[in-house]
Structure 1
Amino acid sequence: MQFRDLKTQYTTYKDEIDSTVQEVMNNASFIGGSIVKELEEELAAYVGVKHCISCGNGTDALSLVLMAWDVKEGDAVFVPDFTFFATGEVVSLNGATPVFVDVDETTFNIDPNKLDKAIQKTIEEGKLSPKVVIPVDLFGLPANYQEIEKVAKKYNLLVLEDGAQGFGGNIDGKMACSFGDAATTSFFPAKPLGCFGDGGAIFTNDDELAALLNSLKIHGKGENKYDNVRIGVNSRLDTIQAAILKIKLRAFREHELDDVNRVYELYNNKLEDYVLKPVIPNGYYSSFAQYTIKLDSKTQRDGLQSHLKEQGIPSMVYYVKPMHKQEAFSNLNFNESDFEVTNKLCDTVLSLPMHPYLKEDEVAKVAKTVNEFLG
């Protein structure tokens, strides 16, 4: 059993993928070109925004937006404490200071009320200037943008949606990666829409921002790549990955998103109430990058994970360590009482196998194993 079955996905579309990769090889056009442009247009249309700017990976996507917004030393950027390291890393990389915010215990996403308090506290301390909020669509579920954007507007902050795990989700039909002032996603292979290497994209309705990002991602180019008008980086989605993503985007739209939600329903029906199952609020739709359950304690969680492994069932802990406890951020001062939910989640969450190609009998085996261990 695979935790995220990329092999079956490939074999399902092998002929098309092999053919399109061979075509790129035959044309010897490996960077840029019409295929990348076509993919960007398809992605923008799917999300429902004017511009999609592809780039080298999801981390670069976040960093490029912060660069374009001139986020720098002395700025505070508010980031959920329960997420992958990259979301805070890009803040420090651009010279600013990440301010970590505890999350909602039900959705695992940034808590808007705690966000408001963190911004107030930062203003009162007077050492940093609040600049940006980066909500994360954790495990495929969009964050609470209605409330987050109210808080951001109250303090005149920019909102950068980190949709690395959320691509394909929506709130009342409004797609993930269309919220805030800009949004990003990752095409890391295990993401809801993944390529066969690294890749990322930025989404925005802002014409000027899009033009600036297209410059920054190619060495700060002006009229052409040898006309450099600003300091930038080298972060481009290569043509082979774009060609693969065009095929995988079609599969994602036609059946994978529906299939992964079918697996979600199967898990919910087969798992007993010994565990807390993922909660999807009314009006929300998740792309289920992960199916994450909560246990009563670290001892119980670790025991279950060991038992699953003995039965040949893979599982993962996202995340074993909160952001504020990462050594890379040890220079920052924190109050542990501000992260009660995140600290508990790191000790009690467990992600089960989850992908569009998971069979019903495999879900049944996982659920039976969990139920028997905890029952």
Structure 2
Amino acid sequence: MSGSLLFIGHTGERSGAEKVMAALVDVALAQGRRVVVACPDGPLAESLPDECVHVRLPRLGMWGQTGLGRVAGLAGLPLRWLVGALRLRRVLAAERPAVVCNSLFALPSLRLAAAGTSHRERARWLVHDTLSSRKQRLVARLGRAAVAGAVAVSRATATPVRECGYAVVVAPNGVPIPAAPSLPAPRVDSALRVGILASVTEWKGHRVLLDAVAEVPGLRLDVAGTPFPGDEPFLDELRRRAERPGLRGRVSFLGQVDPASVFAVWDVLVSASTSPEAGPLGVLEAMAHGVPVIGTDHGGTAEYLSDGAGLLVPPGDVEALAEALRRLTADPCLRNDFAVTARRRVEERHNIEVTLPAMANALWATGVTL
């Protein structure tokens, strides 16, 4: 199969959205397509297959939580979008590719690059953000003229994108399904282990989780994941919080991990995001491995855990999360029921062997109606 494909990402980091894009790159290469990936330098670019062409972009999104880092990130955004557009325009002119924009914050650069050309009809936006703020909706509307339509990874994500004027189809995320659910390894102490597997950034809800665990004696918490550039002070804050009374000696910071290794020892996974996630891979991976999940009741997480596949709590509610932890950790039968239902949900709806080809077809196959 011939045809050139351009993937555009706003960051050089390798989080959930970038993992999905990397999997789609592999599909495109296997189809014999020429693949160009435009993204900033970083772990994502370093992990690209040798067959890919990498076009270096500036960082097209924000970074840093507060202070000068946040101000600098915002002030320089229009210029970085313009620089990104100039580099993308060269690729569009030389390659005439179909385009997959993997990021909300890359849309303005794509719009500037495609202005005055026919590339809009060959571009799709793969939506990994549930638009929940005015800033996100503004950026989405800025990018509307650049793409023919959007492919959302969950129904919750599709709704606000439609409201911004896009034609949208849903192609859910998927994960590999292990041969059998992991079983918790024997432990020396009797403390149940709760884990969070997420980038260490404020909206992932780590503060809420630490406060909730402090109210439930007898639990141990593992924090797996690393901060985005600019979020290092937030990790330091969490470490200080973990040394205060009520949590001292009960929290471990694991950094980057192999998900299968922690799923083998965790009794419960918590997804505590305070802003709605589109389709969190960590939740799906835990479900596939037979680890019961507590998640916040919005976005793709609410879809994944509905109808008995997990426990849902209001976002940002420390007391509700603490009560869910008490309920789930005290009842092994309930944990097993959730694990069985969740595993079946992933097998039926989120098997990557089915979802990934379907997503690729929605993004770049001819004849797909949006």
* TM interval, short-chain normalised: 0.3 to 0.5
The answer to which structure, 1 or 2, has the higher relative contact order (CA under 8 A, 6+ apart) is 1
TM-score normalised per structure 2: 0.32
